[in-house]
């Protein structure tokens, strides 16, 4: 009996600094203050985010790696860091109609790189916003499990 190839995971951390204001026109001033607290400050505030990318897949028999590190770095530099590092997230067109919460940023980053990896499958994007807060986005299953039998 042939053994199935093992799946391995490679994680890489990146940092970016960005500011944002949590606010939506869908809520009143009082509702925005209640929902977002000090994060609704009209002048915004910033974070030094730590973005973790986790790629899974078969280990390439020639290189011994799941994903080419240089290729992953180039992708993240071009699609994520160049766009979001040292920026005001509220000014990004993708946040014109959505609140720039870290949940939304995390899911956006996932979507921006998931189909462009040099190898492997994007398993998750995790962002540490503060020492106490982190957020994670994973791909949803392609289809819900059906009935058994």
Catalytically annotated residues: 39, 86, 129
Distance CA 10, CA 54 (A): 6
Task: Please tell me the number of Cα atoms within 13 Å of 105 on its side-chain side.
Answer: 31
Distance CA 126, CA 107 (A): 9
For tokens 């957020």, the residue is: 135
């Amino acid at each position: 009996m042939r053994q199935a190839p093992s799946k391995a995971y490679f994680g890489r951390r990146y940092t970016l600094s960005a500011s944002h204001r949590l606010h939506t026109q869908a809520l009143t001033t009082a509702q925005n203050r209640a929902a977002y607290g000090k994060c609704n400050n009209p002048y915004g505030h910033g974070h030094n985010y730590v973005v973790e990318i986790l790629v899974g897949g078969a280990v390439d028999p020639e290189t011994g790696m799941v994903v080419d590190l240089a290729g992953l770095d180039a992708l993240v530099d071009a699609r994520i860091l160049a766009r979001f590092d040292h920026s005001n997230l509220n000014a990004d067109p993708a946040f014109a109609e959505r609140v720039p919460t870290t949940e939304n940023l995390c899911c956006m980053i996932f979507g921006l790189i998931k189909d462009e990896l040099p190898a492997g499958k994007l398993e998750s994007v995790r962002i540490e916003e503060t020492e106490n807060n982190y957020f994670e986005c994973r791909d949803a299953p392609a289809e819900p499990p059906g009935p058994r039998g």
